[in-house]
Amino acid sequence: MGEKLEESKKSNGLKDLANKYKKIRKKYDSLNAFIEANNPWKGKDFDDLLDDFFAALKNDDKEFSWLKIDNDLYEELKDKKGKAVSIDYGIPSHVRGDIEKGTVFLCLVNPNIDVKVAMCEACQMKNEEDIKKYIFNPGSEGGILYKEILELKGMKKLIGLKESDEDKNHEKNEIGYYTANYFNVILLAINDYKNKDEKEYEDLKKAVKSFKRFTRTLKNDDENKQKNYKNIKKEDLENFVNISKKIVNLEAFPFRSSTPNFAIDEDNAKDRFANCLVKSTSNVSMLSARIIIWKILEYIVNPKDNVKPVFIFRRFNRAWRPSITNVLIEDFEIEDDKDIDNIINELHKEYFYTLGYSDTDNLSSMDTSLYKEDVNIYNKKEKRKEFNKRISDALISQKDKKENKGYE
């Protein structure tokens, strides 16, 4: 980031971090502007790389690599064991969703994809602006879950959005990968949450129920389909679609691979591509971790005007801890290992959930494998209840929350 503060090396945890953050953040009009200043996916170098990408497609150039978004990163990693160049021409995906207004962050590893699918996808994407948004899109309609939901057959028509012929050709009869593996658990948490003030969460629960009703119609093409549609309230379904805009996808690193191939043994990790990538201090490798830390500090600095965010991680120790540690060192000058451990423990306590234990490597679905501080929440009633509340509070309309609490 290049902006360090001359302050004591010792840290008193997130409180000290927030004080340092305030001094850095005041130079920017918004959180998005702050993030954009450290975003590698912009400017002439990125435009030149896009030109190289289209030329590589045309000439079948196997030397093309998305890693060249950062030449220092490319030079550092190209000789590591494993395939340094991006697999064929699979387009990266790094940040998708509204960072500023987002409240639930799915912190995954990298956009795994079958090589053939990646190549096909790349060949279909001819527009540079579409590719830019596919890689980094912090807009309100940039989220992957939002996109999956709008692609469901009949959804746009039901909520009154204009449909193009292309939209109709790409409609799906089944819910998408992220909805099935991640969003369904979030919806279950909302349904399960019980609160003495049910009115506060009434609209949220109605929205979830409307989506459940809608999904039951997806494979039903008989004469009852239109009748079933009439039982779905447009207002509730529209509210559900808006709720999905609050969920943001972050990848630890953006480059596609069917097998990231992290090494568990430290000696092997020194030469393994994925391990070296997440430990790099490049803007590419630190972007998602910066968003996580800055989003949390934004809330701590101004809790009244912000919602407490929730972060759900895959492969925390392997894929995420190195880059989060780098943010603490590079941006905030926290260099003592004990201080770093204490801050990360505090983050786990207040903001983080993980799929499996922190050092679990092979879970890709939330299902019943969601952990808080290395304890399965499904084995602890109070932890499960806490998660249900955290998710419901994160996704509830703030207008509804204020109205039901008597705000003017």
pLDDT digits (tens, 9 = 90+) for 70-123: 988 888 887 654 455 555 567 899 999 999 999 999 999 988 665 555 556 666
103 or 267, higher pLDDT: 103
Q: What is the pLDDT of residue 6?
A: 41
Compute the distance between CA of residue 233 and CA of residue 209 in angstroms, rounded to an integer: 10
State the virtual CA torsion across 296, 346, 388, 112 in degrees, nearest 10.
70
184 or 228, higher pLDDT: 184
* pLDDT band, residue 368 (cuts 50/70/90): confident
Helix (H) or strand (E) holding 129: helix 128-135
Compute the distance between CA of residue 57 and CA of residue 108 in angstroms, rounded to an integer: 28
Whole-model pTM: value is: 0.91
Q: What percent of the chain has pLDDT over 70?
A: 85
Q: Which residues contact 18 (CB under 8 A, 6 or more apart)?
A: 297, 300, 301
Q: At residue 270, what is the residue type?
A: K
3-state SS assignment for residue 105: strand
Q: Which tens digit of pLDDT belongs to each residue from 370-408?
A: 999 999 999 899 999 999 999 999 999 765 555 555 433
Compute the distance between CA of residue 366 and CA of residue 359 in angstroms, rounded to an integer: 15
Compute the distance between CA of residue 47 and CA of residue 31 in angstroms, rounded to an integer: 24
Task: Round the CA-based radius of gyration of the chain to a whole number and report it.
Answer: 22
Q: What is the pLDDT of residue 31?
A: 93
In order of 73, 332, 342, the CA distances from 4 in angstroms are: 22, 6, 21
Alpha helices in 252-336 (DSSP H): 266-269, 273-279, 283-301, 321-332
Interhelix angle 43-59/115-124, rounded to 10 degrees, is 110
Q: Which tens digit of pLDDT belongs to each residue from 32-45?
A: 999 999 999 999 99
What is the arithmetic mean of pLDDT over 20-39? Answer: 94
Highest mean pLDDT pick, 63-72, 282-291, 397-406: 282-291
**Residue count of the chain:** 408
Phi, psi of 272 (to 5 degrees): -90, 130
Compute the distance between CA of residue 175 and CA of residue 153 in angstroms, rounded to an integer: 10
The label of the residue with tokens 């879970």 reads: 363
Candidates 366, 346, 279, 272; CA nearest to 317 is 279
